[in-house]
Structure 1
Amino acid sequence: MANSPQSKKRARQIERRTDVNKARRSRIRTFLRKVEEAIASGDKNAAETALRSAQPELMRGVTKGVVHKNTASRKMSRLSSRVKAIA
């Protein structure tokens, strides 16, 4: 348990950051899920549109430190290849 004033303050800050990061991660997952659903439905136009809107959201997660850069790149790469594969 935090005892010193500084450690109490840090605990409060961590709590706030955790909430913000949780919201960001959830938002990213929502965008990725929309791409997945468009791919599953087989609608190439919808999938491309969803992918274009998901990319900046994913990269914003990288700059904010919520997602690792390589993880975001890997997800984008795999999703874009799946979108291209739609006939």
Structure 2
Amino acid sequence: MSMDNTLDRPPVTLENIAQQKNTILRQIRMQKEIMTDITRDIFAPVAPATNKANAMMRAFNTGMAVFDGAMLGLKLMKKFRSFFGRGRK
């Protein structure tokens, strides 16, 4: 092996660069499609409840999520106030 790494690599040509660019663009497009599909699945509207029990459970879960978010917000406010010393002069 020689100390010079330039001899080990194939020469860089415009054709090689164009091929690499096309390959990378294809990969980016595939990843974009995957991300779009995942995002669509995450933010898809929820199917309507089929019966009263499902509707009540969904309402309960939504209420608990709102309550949990509010409690987390209050706890964070208390932590920030104590951390930044609200009463200092």
Whether TM exceeds 0.5 here: the answer is: no
Higher relative contact order (CA 8 A, sep 6+): 1
Of the two, which has the highest radius of gyration? 2
Q: TM-score, normalised by structure 2?
A: 0.38
Q: TM-score, normalised by structure 1?
A: 0.39
Of Structure 1 and Structure 2, the greater helix share is in 1
